[in-house]
Each structure stands twice: as structure tokens, then as C-alpha cells.
Structure 1
Amino acid sequence: MSRHTRPPRLFLAVVLILASLGQAFAAPRLNIEITGGIEAAQPIAIVPFGTAEGLIPPVDMAAIIGADLARTGRFKPMPTRDMLDMPTTREEVDFRDWSLLGMNNLVIGRIEPDPSGYRLSFTLFDVFRGTELANSTLVSTKAGMRQTAHRIADEIHEKLTGQPGVAATRIAYITSTGSGADLSVTLRVSDADGYNPQTIVSSAEPLMSPAWSPDGQRLAYVSFENKRAAIYIQELSSGRRELVASHPGINGSPAFSPDGTRLAMTLSKDGNPDIYSLNLLSRELTRLTDHYAIDTEPSWSPDGQSLIFTSDRGGSPQIYRMAASGGPAERISVEGDYNGRASYAPDGRSIVMVTRVNGAFRIGVLDLARGVKRLLSRGDLDESPSFAPNGAMVIYATIHGNRGVLATASVEGGGSQRLTQDSGQVREPAWSPLKR
């Protein structure tokens, strides 16, 4: 259906048949391998948390916090085996020892029993000044301990960098195993560290285009049930779903507006693929582009005032911008003969996109004010980029060892990781908003 030479799935070219819906169920988790770090990563020690006598926590809080911080590329946690001491109270801390070990910061904590399950307290220290930077107490159930560890990691991250952490966020992604009659495809959601995976939708045919609502409670996706394209919105907690677009031809590329009231999409019901906006309250559908070329892959600006999209109206796929109400569009990608699948950074100052370089498809970030593009990836077929909600990292799909996997890259450069399953392909990631 596409006239473009590009990675798969720029335009809708597959069909979906949902095999099951309803409550999410457990699935194999993603395995994360850190493949690169930032040279100036801050050394930090997260001491194993102390516990009340006889109390055995269900998880290693310090290990989870350390792994969360390490994955950002900004921190280099000290191995537990290298620690000279393991204090759990302020009085037990000897800052001279930690300073000699080269640590910038130190985290200690304790876990006590609580009627709800556990009460956790932690303190973050500046080693060189010998001062407290943060001190908090949280209550958690047994099942919520990993999420509590993520919250602590995010608090530490924000205190030390001034930027919100994303350890407590989630990612949506597509998996597939088998082929032909044995093909099994799922839409899944997991914690940002790959744990707690849940299958949202299972299908005997390909699934595609997951998109988060701004409150993180719903996903929009594309289905070809009844042998025709359709867009659904599904509530994650209940599994309840709603059909929102099922017009003749293409129904694809759903994208929620920042306030959650509208859904941008690509429809071909009136001829060529164009960009439309659906008011989710009134169900009023507004056509935003009307061009003989292919217009697709809409994405909202953080303030909801404009949309960017991919179009070949200039002769090759490029990124264009227009007002959210429609009207004239301006081309904003200049360098290269292919740029597509773009979305805004949370601060609106840059966009991430797929760009072709010497025949290879890479992930690039374009600074909108300066017009400067930087490459974040090095693969031959990298696609489907999605910003982390703090703008510090990008997650995308790539190929490793002839398998589809996910990868992340630090926008600053250097920090990277690979996310794989034990078998099958993983693709089309979408990073959730920050938890409110």
C-alpha cells in the first residue's frame, strides 16, 4: 500500500484478528542487558536495607534501586561486595570510608513490619558534605514492593539530577512467535524494567500501533477483526474495549491528545490516507489534511496546539507540522531522503524519528530550534521510537541476532540497553506517561 522504501509498518499493511480479550494475564518478562554507559556516570552506593529481626522481605530493595539507576546511564552503583561496611542508620555511617571509595552519594534504608505489609525508610546522603539530601518513609504491600523500590529510585534520580525518574513507568510492546498457522501475537505491558508483564490482547494475526492515553489507564491499538481495519481503545484494568474507528480502507496510527479528549489517526475513507481528529466525547470526526499524497503517523505537541506527521507530498517521506485544527503544513525535516514515525519530546523542543542514513534506518533526534539532527542508534533497521516521559531516553525496535528486540538509548549519548525475550520477536514499543 505504501510507495515508500522504508522499514515495515510505516503504513497499515497487515490485518489483525483478536483471539482473546478481558483481564490481562501474566506473560514472559523482558530480559534487560545494559550495553553502554555514560562515561561521567555518578558513583553511588546503595547499601542493602536493614530489616527487623526475623523479617524476610520478598525482594532485594537495594538491588532493584541500583539496577533502576544503572539503566539510566547516569549512575554507576557500587557492587555490594566492594562495600567496607553496611550501615542502616545515620549513626553507623562513616563518610570518610565512602569518600575514600570514591562515592558521591550513599543510600541506606530499613524495612519494618506494618499492618499493610511493610514500612520502608531510606536516606540519601551527599558523601563529601556529609549531609542528608532526602529522607522518606513509605508503606507497601508484599505485592507492591518492586513498585515501591522503583518509586524510591525515581525520588533519588530526581533529587540528584533535577529530572523525574522513570523506573515506576511502564512500556507497551508487541511480541510474536511462530509463523503461518502457528503465529501467536500479543500486545503486552510491563514495568519499565521488564518485570510484571501482562498480556492485554492476544491474536492469531499481527497487532500494531499501541498508543497510551495521557493518564496511563488505556491503550489505543489497531485491529483487523472482520477482515477490515479498526481502531480500539482498551481499558487496562478491566479489559473493557471500545471501537472508535472502522471506516472503509485504512484505520491506523492512533495518537491521544495531551488532554485525552481527542484521538488523531490516519484514515483513507475519503481517498488517499489523510490525518483526522476524533473527539472522544462527541464522536465528531474532523479531517485535518486533504492532499493527494500519503499523510500518516500523526503525533501531538505537548501543548496540544499542533501535530506532526509523515507525508511524501514533497517526493519522499518527510516530517511536516500543522496546527491541531488543520490548515497549511510546513516541512520540518530537511536532511536525508527519508524521515518518518516522529514524535515530540516531553518539553516540545525536539522530535525523535526514523531516518535513513546510507541505506540503513536509524533513530535520530532533531532539535527544532537549531534544525540539528543527531543519531542515537547504529542498527540497519531501527524503528518505532518512543520518548521516555522525562525525555532522557528513547526506546525503539531493532534487530539483534536475526531477532526483533527492543533497545533504549540515552538522548545525551552513551547510555544504552537491550530488552529481549527468551524466544520470539519484540517490536513497536510505547513508553507510558509518568504516574500521577
Structure 2
Amino acid sequence: MKKLLPVTVLPSSSSFNARRTLVAALASSPLIPALAQFRVEVSGVGLTQLPIALAPFKGQDASPQKISAIVQADLERSGQFRGVDASGQALDEASRPDLTLWRQRTADSLVVGSVSKLADGRFDVRFRLWDVVRGQDLGGQSFTVPQGDLRLASHRIADYVYEKLTGEKGIFSTRIAYVTKGGSRYSLWVADADGENAQAALASPEPIISPVWSSNGSQLAYVSFESRKPVVYVHNVSSGQRRLLANFRGSNSAPAWAPDGNSLAVTLSRDGGSQLYTIAASGGEPRRLTQSNSIDTEPVFSADGSTIYFVSDRGGAPQIYKMAASGGAPTRVTFSGSYNISPSVSGDGRWLAYISRVGGAFKLHVMELSSGNVTAITDTSADENPSFAPNSKLIVYATQLGGREALMTTTLDGKIKARLAGQAGDIREPDWGPFQKQ
């Protein structure tokens, strides 16, 4: 993924199916453009949504990307914003808008801007944000970008607007990883948070599972069956280079990065049964964490690295447990439901997302860790693999809609959902990457 060129700030005038746990095989390939694009379909109404107007950016009719439409889709998908009709207005970042008009249109805020092609083929993108209610100019930025980064520039604008108006960091310029199956071909993709601008990182005629981002977003760990057994590799996203991490006797699966990036937790059966270990990111001899006669798998670290959540059937059926990252006696976390798998912990440490089997259906649930209160937030029946956005406000997960697998994002209360509908096969195994460096 290319980075944006330096930003100019405009002067102001005043954010089991258990990861299909043990099957994969991948063949490394150079990054190539995605053949399929996605459309974002937002549904649901939140209790409080900020009304915002996105005026068509001046010059965007001649641009390959409709900047204002991308920004509006980002903001609406967050569940925090509701779009207000901005048609019929010709404004740019230098305009002094008639804020009375926008108040009459019920907008609380207004984004205006422009996009123009420069002589060297790059594009100049500028915007400004207005607080309509208070009559304040909240500033803006400009970007000079190649054509391929116009969407990224749009996501950066959405991040700016989101943070200014909510006080939380925006996540629209982050990336997700996911797997598709089309015919007999499996591919691992890296895409923008809205599913667009996808690039293939890996491809294989064999299944691909368990991709997981490192904390700095530079690497993905995954499981491969290239050696006719599950093996863990680490893949450098920018260079396409990969290295072998875990290839011990038996199965090697379910990698999870420690927040400091220096080690990973993995599930190994080298000593009999599936148990949890940690291993240095550079490889080497693993250190065993669990000592049980049960299946222990799907480890995930808490954001501070002190705790590992994992799935175990030590109580007779799969449930989620936690223990110190250095090992020790586990504590059971989930009690409602007889089958709970695929834990994901929010970056702020407040929430646990997981999949619970309810009457034969697999549904996404969210637990508030401080109280233990659990909420089922989907009405689908084949949910899997939840992953939190880095600002802890959204969850991406895979599910089945209309007989096809698809990616969804949802707010934590389940009220706002967005479908990322692919055209090139079934979609699964999503993992939401960390914040990107500006």
C-alpha cells in the first residue's frame, strides 16, 4: 500500500467456525490488483447519529474517484453519522458557505472541498470542515496524491472529520485482510477498511486460513498446508517475502501476535493434543503455556499484552477462557451458551466479541468484560471470525447471506451494519489491521 504524500494543513479561521481452525495452503505471489470490487450497503438506524452534509467536491466529476461519496459512505458505515442532502450547492474549501441554509437542511456539520489534476498526473485534494450549529470553521487539509491513492485520501478526510466531530480516532484509512474462495482457488487479500482497493497477497489452489495482522500492520501471520500438514508462516505485506515460523511435529495453527510484535501465540500438537505456546517472531523453540488433556486453541492477546484469551473444551464443550500471557491457571470467561468460540478483544479492553452456537445457528455476540453482560447482535445463522476495528467501535465478521459468504461490519450494539458484497467467490477469515502511520 502506498502512503500519501505529506499533508498540508489548511489554516483555520477560528477512528471456530474457529477461524476454520486447522486448514490452509498458500503460495506466495506478487501483489496484483483485485479483479472484483465491493459495494457498501449500510442498513439500520442508530439511536444518535450526527447529521452531516457532504457537498460534491468541486472538480470531482472529472476525477476517477468521487471523493465526497467515499467520505460519506465511510462516515455512515461508522454508525455515528447520517447523510444530509447536499445537492444543488457549488462549494469548495475556499468558499464561505451560507450556514443558515445548511441549518435549514438540518445539517450539524458540512464538508466541502475540491479535486484537480496536476500537470504531473497527480491529484490535488483539498477539503474544509464546518460546524454548522456553532458557525465555526474546523479546519481542513490538502493532499497531493497519485491517482491510485485517491481513495486513501478520501479515507484520510473521513478520519479527520470523524475525529473532529466525535473525539475518537477514525479507522477509515486502516486495512483489513480476508480470504476468498472462487472455484478451486483461494486468495488472501489486503484491502481498505471498506473492502475496496483490494490487492492479492497470496494465492493457492488449497484453502487459506487464520490471517492475522502484526501490531504495526507490516506483517501477516497465516497457516499453510504446503507440506501436507499445517505450518505457520509470516508474510511481509509490502515486500511479499515470507518466512517459516512454526513447523513442528503435528499441527501448527491459530497464530496470534503479541502487541509488542516480538512474539506470537500458536496452537501446537507437538507434545500430544492441541496446546498453547508462545514463540519468538524470529522463530526458535516455543514455550508451552497450557498443560491440559483438552483442546486449547484460538489464542488472542489483550491490548496491553498481559492476558491471553483462548478457546478450550476442558469443561466438556468449547468455551472461552483467559490466563496470564506467561501462563498459569486459566479462568473461564463465557458462561451463557454451551458452545462459544472465536474470541476477539477490543483495543480499549472493554469488549469481547465471539461466536456462540444458539439452537444450531452460529451468531455473533458481544460481552462487556467489566459486567459480563452479553448481547447477541446479529440475526444471521453462520457468523464467524469477528475482529475489532482498532478504535474498538466496529466489528468485521464473516457470515452467509443468500447462500453466499460475505463480509459485514457492525456497530457494537448491532444497530448499524454494512455489507461488503464481493463478486469473486465466497469471503471469509477477516482480520482488521491496526491504525496506519500518517
1:317-340 deviation per Cα after TM superposition (whole angstroms, max 9, x unaligned): 111111111111111111111111
Identity %: 39
For the 8 Å contact 1:187–1:201, the answer to whether it is kept is yes
CA distance in 2, matches of 1:11, 1:93: 55
Which residue of the other structure, out of 132, 145, 159, is the alignment partner of 2:164? Answer: 159
Alignment of 1:293-312 (within 5 A): 293-312=294-313
CA distance in 2, matches of 1:89, 1:308: 47
Which deviates more from structure 2 when the two are superposed, residues 259-268 or residues 355-364?
Answer: 355-364
Question: Residue type matched to 2:375 in 1?
Answer: R
Alignment of 1:59-208 (within 5 A): 59-80=65-86, 83-89=87-93, 91-112=95-116, 117-178=122-183, 183-208=184-209
CA distance in 1, matches of 2:382, 2:44: 19
CA distance in 2, matches of 1:17, 1:409: 30
The aligned residue for residue 56 of structure 2 is: 48
Q: How many positions carry a matched residue from both structures?
A: 420
What is the Cα deviation at residue 142 of structure 1?
2.3
For the 8 Å contact 1:207–1:222, the answer to whether it is kept is yes
What is the Cα deviation at residue 90 of structure 1?
5.3
Question: Residue type matched to 1:338 in 2?
Answer: Y
Moved over 4 A (4+): 112-116
| Unaligned residue ranges in structure 2 (runs of 5+) | 1-15
For the 8 Å contact 2:85–2:105, the answer to whether it is kept is no
Question: Residue type matched to 2:82 in 1?
Answer: K
For the structure 1 residues 93 and 374, does the alpha-carbon distance in structure 2 shift closer, same or farther, using more than 3 Å as the test? same
The aligned residue for residue 378 of structure 2 is: 377
CA distance in 2, matches of 1:37, 1:68: 15
Question: Residue type matched to 2:44 in 1?
Answer: G
| Unaligned residue ranges in structure 1 (runs of 5+) | 1-5
CA distance in 2, matches of 1:153, 1:186: 29
CA distance in 2, matches of 1:244, 1:91: 55
What is the Cα deviation at residue 115 of structure 1?
7.0
Question: Residue type matched to 2:72 in 1?
Answer: G
Question: Residue type matched to 1:420 in 2?
Answer: A
The aligned residue for residue 288 of structure 1 is: 289
1:16-57 deviation per Cα after TM superposition (whole angstroms, max 9, x unaligned): 343x413211122233222323243221111122249xx943
Question: Residue type matched to 1:147 in 2?
Answer: L
The aligned residue for residue 3 of structure 1 is: none
What is the Cα deviation at residue 136 of structure 1?
2.1
Alignment of 1:345-364 (within 5 A): 345-364=346-365
Work out whether 1:25 is the aligned partner of 2:26: no
The aligned residue for residue 322 of structure 1 is: 323
CA distance in 2, matches of 1:150, 1:7: 31
For the 8 Å contact 1:23–1:200, the answer to whether it is kept is yes
Which deviates more from structure 2 when the two are superposed, residues 128-137 or residues 331-340?
Answer: 128-137
The aligned residue for residue 268 of structure 1 is: 269
Question: Residue type matched to 2:136 in 1?
Answer: T
CA distance in 1, matches of 2:18, 2:212: 18
Calculate the TM-score normalised by the size of structure 1. 0.92
For the structure 1 residues 10 and 423, does the alpha-carbon distance in structure 2 shift closer, same or farther, using more than 3 Å as the test? closer
CA distance in 2, matches of 1:125, 1:173: 36
